[in-house]
Amino acid sequence: MPRNSASKVHGLFAAIITPFDSQGRVDTGALADLVHFQISKGTEGLYPCGSTGLGPMLRTDERKLIAETAVKSAMGKIPVVVQVGCADTASTVELARHAERVGADAVASLTPYYYKPGEAAVVKHFESISRSVGIPLFAYNIPQFTGNNLAAGTVARMAESGTIAGIKDSSRDLIQLQDLLDAVPEDFVVMNGTEEYGLYAILSGADGLVSGGASALPELFKSLVASQRKGDYKTALEAHRAILRLKELTKAGPISSYYAILKERGVDCGSPREPFLPFEAPQARKVIAGLKELGLL
């Protein structure tokens, strides 16, 4: 895909979890099963090694293995955007180059995290990544975790310079999102990354949703995106309300709950990596029962 084209990125992208075996190693067989599950449910793209995929907790070699497996398993049927962001620029560039080599359609990167080097340094970070690859680069803005917020004006300047082709916005700030949509070029791709705001973000003009919950329940999030695309706002609102109920049901541990839900659905991805704790059986049963009551399973 040419650098200046990120048109494959739209609709529902699943921010997939990372499966682990009983020894705590990345389970490539289960990851392939998860990718095939997503394709079978109509997911329009994959986003491995994001927050839901525990990207910041994984070693570089593990992240490379996940990228290779996800791209190979997708078989070109749906695009794969690999999240490569690290706290430092050199490691991010290494992962971006690897993702391009193994066939990723695009890469996305968190802002540098923990430290606050300032806007100029963050922009230079993205410029370094962009120069290192020939595929589109997406910024991933999730300031509540990284400590670094990408203001609308900063994003617009990077868009106009060709540094980034799009953004996954998880800022949880609808005013900032609207400012962003008003500031960027028409062909710049804006994907929402906060599920509770998905309805409003897409109505405001976002191109789609990158969803962690879609890792386990892609049909629900596909319903939200597809119904809005068709102008069926009644169905979109129903999906939005169901998503809010899902968030309430899983608030004790959203990521851990996705492993439990997928196991119930026949896709056993093991347990999340510590310090996350797996759901105990009573917790899992409560979530599954709640989802069945809502008609989501």
Which alpha helices (H) appear in 184-232, and where do they start and end? 198-204, 218-230
- If you ran DSSP here, which 8-state letter would residue 111 be given? P
Asked if 278 and 29 touch (Cβ cutoff 8 Å), the reply is no
Backbone φ/ψ region at 178: left (φ over 0), alpha (ψ -120 to 50), beta: alpha
Asked if 210 and 199 touch (Cβ cutoff 8 Å), the reply is no
Sign of the CA dihedral running 155, 58, 39, 71 = positive
The Cα-based distances of 114 to 145, 169, 207 in angstroms read 8, 18, 29
Cα gap 65→138, rounded to integer Å: 21
Tokens coding 120 = 């100029």
Rg of the chain over Cα atoms, rounded to whole angstroms, equals: 18
- If you ran DSSP here, which 8-state letter would residue 26 be given? B
Cα gap 141→149, rounded to integer Å: 6
* Catalytically annotated residues: 140, 168
Tokens coding 276 = 């996350």
Q: What is the CB neighbour count within 10 angstroms for residue 4?
A: 10
Helix (H, G, I), strand (E, B) or coil at 169: strand
